Amino acid sequence: MLVLAVLGVFLSFSFKDFYLDNLKANLVYEGLLVAEMTRSYDGQEETGRFMQQIAELAGRDTDNRVTIVDQEGKVLGDSQFDPRQMEEHKNRPEIFRALKGETAVEMRYSETAAVQMLYVAVPFGNGEQKGVVRIAKALLEVESLYRQILHIILLVLVMTGILAFLLSLGIARWFSGPVAELTATVQDMARGNLKKRISFPARDELGLLAVAVNEMAENLEQNINQISAVNERLEALLANTVNGILMVDNKGIINYVNPVAINLLGFQDNVVGCRHLEVISNYYLLALIDQVREEGKTCSQEIILHKLGEKRVETTAIPLFIGVDAVAGGVLLVMNDISELKRLEAIRKDFVANVSHELKTPVASISGFAETLLNERELEEKRVREFSGIIYEEAQRLSRLIKRLLELSRLESQSEELRKEWMDLNQTIENAIGLMEKRKKNSQVKLCFDKPENPVIIKGNAESIVQVMLNLLENAINFSPDGEMVKISIEEEENSIRVKVADKGEGIPEKELPRVFERFYRVDKARSKKTGGTGLGLAIVKHLVENHGGQVGVESVPGKGSCFYFSLLRE
């Protein structure tokens, strides 16, 4: 199309120049003929009249304007205007040159005709009569003819262009169809569809390329499937491991962090791509990373995260090897939260110490009084009965302690499935209160049950609930002054039932509240020893309630009393 357009413009200008040159030559030829006609003048007729007749005759035959000027520039004849009214033409460029003996051609604006004209001036001479014959043709006809021809050229150019475009489009599609299909398939593969294949039957260069692309896609699919399988297994392993995993590259940028590490270090957002100095706030952890990067060897350290609840984290920092440079690959942190292990270890130590202490006291008493009875043969009967009573009480205390320990051990092992059945919680609590009224002996503490009007039906183990109530009531009675009242109430919530046991005792300090359900923990050890408590009652309560899927808690104000409660889910 571009070539055709350039060719069309070139042809149009070339034709215009050719037509003008041909027109100039014709006008020169016509001018020479008119100049030859002036030679027939014989001098008998008036010159002006003769020249006017020649001008009119030549103008009519040639359809052009013919002007005859003498050698002084005076107009002797004109085929279109009255010579007498025309000014001298001596200064006209074409006439000026023709008077000098040249054949002159000019294109300019005619003030007489008021149009753009093409002038051809030819000198003539007949004895003493000399002058110039000028042939003029209006360029409007030339422009009109030029436009017509230009329109024809443009029409041919457009028709040829459309035909060439359609033909080129068909040929391009015929050639580019396989390439387009190949390109679309490769782009589809690049977007991840490696199952896409190219069907191209030809065995030319494109056919060989299609076969090569299909083989490449098949190999890529196999390799990516293998890599994806390994990556999925690795992701599953890292996401579900109990250890926190964090990877820092040699520039201090975090490349990977698993969910356990995010939770362990208290990250709020995804920190992958961040500098470890900006997101890790523990000095010892940062120092461990720097140590491994400098030394290039594995280091382990127990780190306490003070800002995250005093977590104890066993951290192992491993250098990642790349080539021969041990530090260039960064550092891998493997973190294990041992807070619970440390807490359990502390509880175990306390338990051993408490059990030893609890067993030591009654055993020492039994041994001491038994030894006295053996060595002292002449003791009074009263003393013997007194010592025997002490031995019996200490033996009973030891028996209760062992029984409670066995019961707590059974609850913690959960070897037996809890048998639940529908029951009226009001009746169960009343049964527990009846048993406690028989046990409290000489205690002046009163038990008051704020019983709901309607039955409270839940699904649970009545024996376990009675045991929970007996432990709570026993504690409330033991720590309440004589004459005070222990209040039992039931609160019905949306999804659970809450049972409260409130006393008017001395209360529990706020700092002691989190530990009251631990084994052998006593707020007032002297009072507990006086009342014969083992320190295991609340621990048993906690396990019995949790076996029902419930929760236990305590609210207390020192000097005003305590309120122990447990919640059971509705089923």
Please report the pLDDT score of residue 358 as a whole number: 60
CB atoms within 10 A of CB 396: 12
Q: How far is CA 329 from the centre of its chain?
A: 27
Beta pairing class for 485-492 and 446-450:
parallel
Average pLDDT, the chain: 80
- List, for residues 80-101, the tens digit of each pLDDT value: 888 888 888 888 888 888 888 8
Judge whether 140 and 92 are in contact, CB under 8 Å: no
Question: Rounded to an integer, what distance in angstroms lies between the CA atom of residue 484 and that of residue 446?
Answer: 6
Judge whether 273 and 281 are in contact, CB under 8 Å: no
- List, for residues 468-495, the tens digit of each pLDDT value: 888 888 888 888 888 888 999 998 887 8
Judge whether 78 and 55 are in contact, CB under 8 Å: yes
Q: How far is CA 157 from the centre of its chain?
A: 56
In order of 22, 140, 207, 478, the CA distances from 61 in angstroms are: 19, 19, 75, 151
User: What are the φ and ψ backbone dihedral angles of 305, each rounded to 5 degrees?
Assistant: -90, 90
Max CA distance (Å), the chain = 205
Please report the pLDDT score of residue 530 as a whole number: 47
In order of 67, 243, 405, 417, the CA distances from 411 in angstroms are: 139, 30, 10, 10
Q: Is 39 left (phi over 0), alpha (psi -120 to 50) or beta?
A: alpha
Query: Does residue 420 or residue 201 have the better pLDDT?
Result: 420
Which residues have a Cβ under 8 Å from the Cβ of 157 and sit 6 or more positions away?
Answer: 4, 5, 7, 8
Judge whether 458 and 497 are in contact, CB under 8 Å: yes
pTM: 0.41
Question: Rounded to an integer, what distance in angstroms lies between the CA atom of residue 359 and that of residue 488?
Answer: 34
Query: Does residue 126 or residue 72 have the better pLDDT?
Result: 72
Look at residue 485 and give its three-state secondary structure.
strand
CB atoms within 10 A of CB 45: 11
